[in-house]
Structure 1
Amino acid sequence: MSRWMTTILFLVGSAILTHWVPFSDFFRNVDTMVHELGHAVATMVLSGEVLYIQLYANHSGVTYSYIESGWRTIPLGLAGYVTASAFAAFLFRQYGKGKLGVGFVAMSLLAVVSLAFFVNNSFGVLWLIGFIVVNGVAMLVPFPFLRKFYYLLVAFICLEESVMGPINLIYMSVLDPTRAGDASGLSRSTGIPALAWAILFLIVSLWCARSAIYSFMGKGRSRQAGRPRWESQA
Structure 2
Amino acid sequence: MILALFLTRFIPFSAFFRNVDTLVHELSHALVTLVLSGKVMYIHLFSNQAGVTYSSYTEQWMTIPISLAGYMGSSLFSLLLFLLYARRKEKAGLIIAAVLAVAGVALFVRNGYGMTWCAGFAALTAVIAAMAPIWLRHGYYLLIAFIVLVESVISPFVILSNAILSTGSAGDAANLGKATFVPAFVWALLFTAFSLWCAKMSTGLLFKRGFGQKT
Report the TM-score when normalising by structure 2.
0.95
Describe the SS at the equivalent of 1:71.
Answer: helix
Q: Unpaired segments of 5 or more residues in structure 1?
A: 1-10, 221-234
* Equivalent of residue 162 in structure 1, options 149, 152, 159: 152
* Equivalent of residue 98 in structure 2, options 73, 97, 108: 108
Partner of 2:67: 77
Q: Deviations over 1:178-210 (max 9, x none)?
A: 110000000000021110000000011011111
Partner of 2:202: 212
* Equivalent of residue 56 in structure 1, options 46, 49, 57: 46
Find out whether 1:182 has 2:172 as its counterpart: yes
Q: Deviations over 1:67-89 (max 9, x none)?
A: 12332111011000010000000
RMSD of the alignment, in Å?
1.2
Aligned structure 1 segments of 4 or more residues deviating by more than 6 angstroms: none
Find out whether 1:46 has 2:20 as its counterpart: no
Describe the SS at the equivalent of 2:106.
Answer: helix
Describe the SS at the equivalent of 1:52.
Answer: strand
C-alpha separation in 2, matches of 1:182 and 1:147: 34
Find out whether 1:203 has 2:193 as its counterpart: yes
* Partner AA of 2:14 in structure 1: S
C-alpha separation in 1, matches of 2:72 and 2:176: 14
Identity %: 44
Partner of 1:27: 17
* Partner AA of 1:73 in structure 2: T
Figure out how many residues of one structure are paired with residues of the other and give that number: 210
Alignment of 1:110-129 (within 5 A): 110-129=100-119
Radius of gyration: which is bigger? 1
The CA deviation at 1:144 is: 1.1
C-alpha separation in 2, matches of 1:25 and 1:105: 21
C-alpha separation in 2, matches of 1:188 and 1:69: 14
* Partner AA of 1:177 in structure 2: T
Report the TM-score when normalising by structure 1.
0.87
The CA deviation at 1:219 is: 6.5
Partner of 2:213: none
Partner of 1:148: 138
Report the more deviating stretch, 133-142 or 90-99. 133-142
CA shift in 2, pair 1:140/1:219, >3 Å? closer
